[in-house]
Structure 1
Amino acid sequence: MMIYRMDHVGVVVEDLAAAVAFFVELGLELEGEAAVEGEWVDQLIGLDGVRADLAFVRTPDGHSRVELSTFHAPAATGVAPRAPVNTPGIPRITFAVDDVHDVLHRLRAHGAELVGEVAQYANFYRYCYVRGPEGLIIGLVEKLD
C-alpha cells in the first residue's frame, strides 16, 4: 500500500485567530500552534525567508486535521479567488455534523456566508456549502435518520 492515511488539509489565512475561532465553533479542537522559519521551511515551501504561524485543529474523533497558516514573510503576490463552487481547482472541505441548521447559525457569527441553500436529498441527507475564512468553501452534511 502506498498511502495509509491522509494527514491533513492546509489552508492559508490572513487572520489566524479568526480562522481558529471559526473552526473551533464548527466543533474542531485546537491541537497546537507553532511559529516556523528557517532553511527547512524555505526548502519545503519553495520561497526564501519564510516566517509563518501555524495552528492545527482536529475533528473530535481525532482522525482528521486542518492546518491553518498565516505568512508574515515573504509577502503574498496574489489572492485566492472567490470563484463559484463548480470552478476546477477550488478546494472544499466537508464535515459531517449533527444539525446543519444549528452549525450554520453558529458559523454565521464568524462570518460564514451560505453559498446556495440548505438542500435535502430525499430522506437521507441535509447538505449546504458556506464560505468560511478567506472564502474557503466548507461543506456541512447531516445524515438524516
Structure 2
Amino acid sequence: MALKRMDNVGIVVEDLDATIAFFRELGLELEGRATVEGEWAGRVTGLGNQQVEIAMMRTPDGHSRLELSRFLTPPVIADHRNTPVNALGYLRVMFAVEDLDETLDRLRGLGAQLVGDVVQYQNTYRLCYIRGPEGLLLGLAEELG
C-alpha cells in the first residue's frame, strides 16, 4: 500500500486567535474551527479525556495544511518554542513566498522576528528563518529567476 499524501502539520499554541491572524497574513486560509473532545480523541493522542480547540489552515494551492491546536484539558506540560534550531526533533515549517521582503514587512507587523539573516543560496533561493507567534520557528523561501 502506497502513501497517499502528508495531510497536515500540527502545532500547539496558547493564543489560537492571534496565531490564526498571523497565518492568514502569511497567506493561509482558515478552513474551519472546532472543539475536539472526549474519550475517543484521547485514545488517539494517548492523553485520555481531552478538550482541544483546533483550527485548520490551508495553503492557497490547497495541498498543505496546518492544524493549530489549543489544549484546554489536559494542560500543556512542556514548552519547546524557544529551543535553538539545532535541537533534536521537528525543526520548522517552510513556506514558499513570492516576495520575501514584502512578506517579512507584513509579518513583522504581527511580531515576527528574523532569526539570523536573509541569505541567498546560489541563484536559486532567498531564504530566512523567523520566529512567529509564540516563538514558532518558520522558514520562508523566495525562488529566484
Give the TM-score taking structure 2 as reference length: 0.95
**Partners of 1:142 and 1:78 in 2: how far apart?**
33
What's the secondary structure of 1:34's corresponding residue? Answer: strand
Percent identity, aligned pairs only?
Answer: 56
Please tell me whether the aligned partners of residues 11 and 67 of structure 2 are also in contact (alpha carbons under 8 angstroms): yes
Read off the aligned partner of 1:116 and give its amino acid letter.
G
**Partners of 2:46 and 2:132 in 1: how far apart?**
27
* Count of matched residue positions in the alignment of Structure 1 and Structure 2: 145
Larger mean CA deviation between 106-115 and 3-12 belongs to 106-115
TM-superposed CA distance for 1:48, in Å, is: 2.5
Matching residue of 1:6: 6
Flag structure 2 segments of 5+ consecutive residues without an equivalent.
Answer: none
RMSD (Å), alpha carbons: 1.2
For residues 49-107 of structure 1, what are the alpha-carbon distances to aligned partners after superposition, in whole Å with 9 as ceiling and x for unaligned?
Answer: 31110000010000000000001111122212412212221421001000111111111
Please tell me whether the aligned partners of residues 28 and 57 of structure 2 are also in contact (alpha carbons under 8 angstroms): yes
Larger mean CA deviation between 115-124 and 73-82 belongs to 73-82
Flag structure 1 segments of 5+ consecutive residues without an equivalent.
Answer: none
Matching residue of 1:137: 137
Equivalent positions of 1:1-145 (< 5 A) are 1-145=1-145
Please tell me whether the aligned partners of residues 80 and 134 of structure 1 are also in contact (alpha carbons under 8 angstroms): no
- Deviating runs (4+, > 2 A) in structure 1? none
For residues 87-133 of structure 1, what are the alpha-carbon distances to aligned partners after superposition, in whole Å with 9 as ceiling and x for unaligned?
Answer: 22142100100011111111111111111000011221100000112
Please tell me whether the aligned partners of residues 83 and 90 of structure 1 are also in contact (alpha carbons under 8 angstroms): no
Give the TM-score taking structure 1 as reference length: 0.95
